[in-house]
Amino acid sequence: MKLDFTKHPHRRLNLLTGEWVQVSPQRTQRPWQGQEEETSGDGKPEYDPKCYLCPGNDRAGDASNPEYTSTFSFVNDFSALLPDTSNEEINDNDLLISKGERGMCKVICFSPRHDLTLPEMEISQVEDVVDLWVKEYRELGAKPFINYVQIFENKGEVMGCSNPHPHGQIWAQETIPEEPAKELKQFKNYYEKHTHTLLSNYLKLELERKERLVVENDHFAVVVPFWAFWPFETLVISKRPFARFTDMSEEEKKGLADIVQKITIKYDNVFKVSFPYSAGFHPAPTDGEEHPEWHFHMHFYPPLLRSATIKKFRVGYEMLANSQRDVTAEYSAGLLRELSEVHYKHK
Ligand code: ZN
């Protein structure tokens, strides 16, 4: 029997992690059945006197925010990583193995406005956010004890985000963390064999086939990766193979702002709600190596499934055995591709 991706259960290899995903397209559990929900998420004030991220407000301890008018970043008052701490390695009988870890955590406010998320901001404001990502990557990555700078955004209550003021985070640390470390291994193996970066060859194929392409501009493309796990997962890939935030031209920075806004607008348009997700960048490590194998990209991992309130849970088989999804990547890509590039609130 010939394998039919739309009918037969199958496994797909995630090239970036080397792990497999189980796909079960015969379970016709479509993620979206056309219903639109009027949720109560809207109607946030422009300024909230109780928000610890709004301009001029008090934060934890005796810290307070300046009257910032664009973007604003600060060291997290509850940092998970600290710069001045032990980095001792301990191997206790080859059984209890540990290592002190140095690092820094920062918070980035995207805008002084309490109520504006990336898809609703002016494009010039999103460009300011890109400039800040570049600056933070450069400054944190230049510290001798920082070998990886993880920039990410956790958006929406369903993701456990504690403050609705649009913001992102940075955790920068001594060790290359697990997810980028898996990619580093995969990228290196591929580059040695093919002399091109894995993602430049992958993107070339996706731009030819078009069935998993969601949106593109001159410098970036968004696809639902062949091996996607989350129902609406996407991957933003740079068209030129470069490795770092600091490798981007001015035009590419504008292109990044444009593509981030385009995909987040499409996400909000899926259920006509502010779409929750965890998203973040995978630039090259800042370990002083050249990294010709590395290809700059960004992941979006949204948890929603069939409606604005039904979330996919990673439980049971997925905790114990393997990642699994029902609808195919091609189905989700088609759905996202058809959605408007104009935000539903601006229509
Ligand atoms: Zn990645």
Q: What is the whole-number distance in angstroms between the Cα of residue 45 and the centre of ligand 1?
A: 35
Model pLDDT, residue 343: 96
Beta bridge pairs of residue 92: 96
Model pLDDT, residue 211: 98
Distances (CA, A) of 196 to 189, 214, 240, 269, 305: 11, 24, 11, 36, 35
Of 284, 312, 224, 298, the closest CA to residue 14 belongs to: 224
Q: Give the tokens for residue 258.
A: 């444009």
Are the C-beta atoms of 114 and 164 separated by less than 8 Å? Answer: yes
What three-state secondary structure class fits 21? strand
Are the C-beta atoms of 137 and 151 separated by less than 8 Å? Answer: yes
Model pLDDT, residue 43: 77
Q: How far apart are CA 308 and CA 224, in angstroms?
A: 20
Q: What is the whole-number distance in angstroms between the Cα of residue 282 and the centre of ligand 1?
A: 5
Q: Give the tokens for residue 251.
A: 């035009």
Q: Each residue of 206-232: pLDDT tens digit?
A: 999 999 999 999 999 999 999 999 999
Q: What is the whole-number distance in angstroms between the Cα of residue 231 and the centre of ligand 1?
A: 17
Q: Each residue of 305-324: pLDDT tens digit?
A: 888 888 888 889 999 999 99
- 20-23, strands of its sheet edge to edge: 10-13, 20-23, 323-325
Tell me the pLDDT band of 26, cut-offs 50, 70 and 90: confident
Model pLDDT, residue 22: 96
Q: Each residue of 33-75: pLDDT tens digit?
A: 545 555 555 678 999 999 999 999 999 888 999 999 999 999 9
Q: How far apart are CA 232 and CA 269, in angstroms?
A: 12
Q: What is the whole-number distance in angstroms between the Cα of residue 297 and the centre of ligand 1?
A: 6
Q: Each residue of 268-303: pLDDT tens digit?
A: 999 999 999 999 999 999 999 999 999 999 999 999
Q: How far apart are CA 35 and CA 306, in angstroms?
A: 9
Residue 29 pLDDT more than 70? Answer: no
Model pLDDT, residue 224: 98
Q: What is the whole-number distance in angstroms between the Cα of residue 294 and the centre of ligand 1?
A: 10
Q: Each residue of 236-279: pLDDT tens digit?
A: 999 999 999 999 999 999 999 999 999 999 999 999 999 999 99
Q: How far apart are CA 194 and CA 300, in angstroms?
A: 27
Q: Each residue of 158-208: pLDDT tens digit?
A: 888 878 899 999 999 999 999 999 999 999 999 999 999 999 999 999 999
Beta bridge pairs of residue 170: 106, 151
Model pLDDT, residue 36: 52
Q: Indicate the DSSP class of residue 213.
A: E
Residues 6+ apart with CB under 8 A from 321: none
Residue 120 pLDDT more than 60? Answer: yes
Question: In three state form, how does the secondary structure of 217-277 look?
Answer: CCCEEEECCCCCCCCCCEEEEECCCCCCHHHCCHHHHHHHHHHHHHHHHHHHHHHCCCCCE
Q: What is the whole-number distance in angstroms between the Cα of residue 287 and the centre of ligand 1?
A: 17
The per-residue pLDDT of the chain, averaged, comes to: 94
The angle that helices 123-141 and 250-271 make with each other, rounded to 10 degrees, is 120
Name the residue type at position 324.
Q
Q: Indicate the DSSP class of residue 58.
A: B
Are the C-beta atoms of 170 and 136 separated by less than 8 Å? Answer: yes
What three-state secondary structure class fits 317? helix
Catalytic residue chosen out of the listed positions 165, 167, 219, 291: 167
Query: What average pLDDT score do residues 90-119 get?
Result: 97
Q: How far apart are CA 294 and CA 176, in angstroms?
A: 14
Q: What is the whole-number distance in angstroms between the Cα of residue 252 and the centre of ligand 1?
A: 19
Using the structure block, give the residue that is written with the tokens 């990766």: 225
Is residue 8 part of the annotated active site? The answer reads no
Q: What is the whole-number distance in angstroms between the Cα of residue 284 and the centre of ligand 1?
A: 10
Residues 6+ apart with CB under 8 A from 84: 102
Q: Indicate the DSSP class of residue 344.
A: G
Are the C-beta atoms of 67 and 55 separated by less than 8 Å? Answer: yes
DSSP per position, 159-191: GT-S--S-EEEEEEESSPPHHHHHHHHHHHHHH
Compute the residue count for the chain.
Answer: 347
Tell me the pLDDT band of 2, cut-offs 50, 70 and 90: very high
Tell me the pLDDT band of 99, cut-offs 50, 70 and 90: very high
